[in-house]
Amino acid sequence: MNTQNIYNNKDINTKINLDTNSNTKIKICGLTSPAEARYLNENHVDFAGMVLFFPKSKRNISIEQAIEIMATLDASIKRVAVVVSPSIEQIRQIEAAGFDYVQIHGEIPETEAEAAIAIPILKAFNVSDMGSYEKYHNDSRIAGYVFDAIEPGSGKTFDWKLVDNIPRDEKLLLLAGGLNPDNVRMAIEAVHPDGVDVSSGVENDDKAGKNPERIRAFAIAVESHN
């Protein structure tokens, strides 16, 4: 199948605009079990992120585990595969599994036009590589951006004023990096992102899995700002 023209700028922007509204979206990242998926269902979360092909992460799961988690999620929740400099073979596995988006940290794999990536890309940036934003700003495959701290998944914040220097476009902008129920309202007021992305900020104290009370508190904090 020729996917070269599936996602031109207009198509991606229409898809994103249909998927979003004036409210700040919530993305919970690093799911590792179907039980955590149920926490998201209970709190009307918009995006669910799962780390794949990155064994360095304690949140890394297999494609098979991801499929089981996705089967538990409400249909309204967008499924996001989170990867680091993936190979095109890994992208194909992600597409076949039924993810809605692929969030790419590092390099996007080069493909021939007839073998294009067939699902929208969320390009992740951190404070050390925001200079490459312009490169992706004009890339028709990119549906949105995730701005994170220099160590993604570390739970550390960064200077939110850095995002002020990024020209806004019609693509989705998600803010990540050290967010938690206590600071997410401040982050929204400072950056005005389309959505906020949290992982460690809603985990148990021992970082072994997501905490349902913290997910609820995070969702309430975001909703109170909307």
Q: Where are the beta strands (DSSP E) in the chain?
A: 25-28, 47-52, 60-61, 78-84, 101-105, 121-126, 142-148, 172-175, 195-198
| Active site (annotated) includes residue 29 | yes
Residue 144: phi and psi, rounded to 5, are: -175, 180
* Residue 23 near residue 226 (C-beta atoms within 8 A): yes
Q: What is the spatial distance between Cα 40 and Cα 42, in angstroms, rounded to a whole number?
A: 5
Q: Which of 29, 46, 194, 197 is catalytic?
A: 29
* Residue 147 near residue 163 (C-beta atoms within 8 A): yes
Q: Which of 19, 46, 148, 197 is catalytic?
A: 148
In the chain, the largest separation of any two C-alpha atoms, in whole Å, equals 47
What letter represents residue 65's amino acid?
Answer: Q
What letter represents residue 18's amino acid?
Answer: L
| Active site (annotated) includes residue 11 | no
**Positions marked active-site:** 29, 148
